[in-house]
Amino acid sequence: MTTTPAADGDELFALHTLRLNINGEQRRIQVHAWTTLLDMLREQLQLTGSKKGCDHGQCGACTVLLDGKRINSCLTLAVMHDGAELTTIEGVADGEALHPLQRAFIKHDAFQCGYCTPGQICSALAMAGENHAHSRADIREQMSGNLCRCGAYNNILDAIEDALPACRGELETSAPALGKRGSAA
């Protein structure tokens, strides 16, 4: 990471240059220290699939995978993640081919307004990799960081349960490449 002082030399307004692998694509991005990962994605890169529902880690709509782990991108500063690999909803499908989770969400009508959906899918994708969810009750508990105000929970549960075997099979063969899949791969 390199840091460029502001024109007036004020340390507070310095710009930091980051390298990030986002959905398989290497990107070089300049941010101020206070830019959150979510605002960087949405406002600087126009990757608006990650949603801002609360901006305080209380809803999960901004969930992305950072080095394979699900996090709330609204509560972390972009500047802290130089060199990281990110997967956002835009990188979940393999080109035109939808990920099994995405297909299952459509099949089970696991959304209504669709606003929480990117976060639900990213969260479920990471949960599959964590491998701690072994029952419907486990899925419910481990998906509780993703609110859905439309109340599609039971359909989301059905969709995840349906797609989990496919997710796990897929992850066993290509877990390290998770962040590299996507349209740009």
Least distance from another protein to the Cβ atom of residue 169, Å: 20
Q: How far is CA 183 from the centre of its chain?
A: 15
Question: Does 139 contact another protein by CB under 8 A?
Answer: yes
Nearer of residues 74 and 167 to another protein, judged by Cβ: 74
Would you call 110 helix, strand, or coil by DSSP? coil
Residues 75-114 that bind another protein (CB under 8 A): 75-77, 79-80, 88-90, 92-93, 98, 102, 105-107, 109, 111-114
Structure tokens at 16: 């930091």
Restricting to residues 16-35, which ones interact with another protein according to CB under 8 A?
16, 32-35
> In this structure, are residues 47 and 41 in contact, taking their beta carbons and an 8 Å threshold?
yes
DSSP H/E element including 3: strand 2-4
Shortest CB 174 distance to another protein, Å? 20
Choose, by CB under 8 A, the member of 146, 167, 170, 179 that binds another protein: 146
Place of tokens 């976060």: 119
DSSP run (H or E) holding 106: helix 100-107
Identity of the residue, 21 or 63, whose beta carbon is nearer to another protein in the bound complex: 63
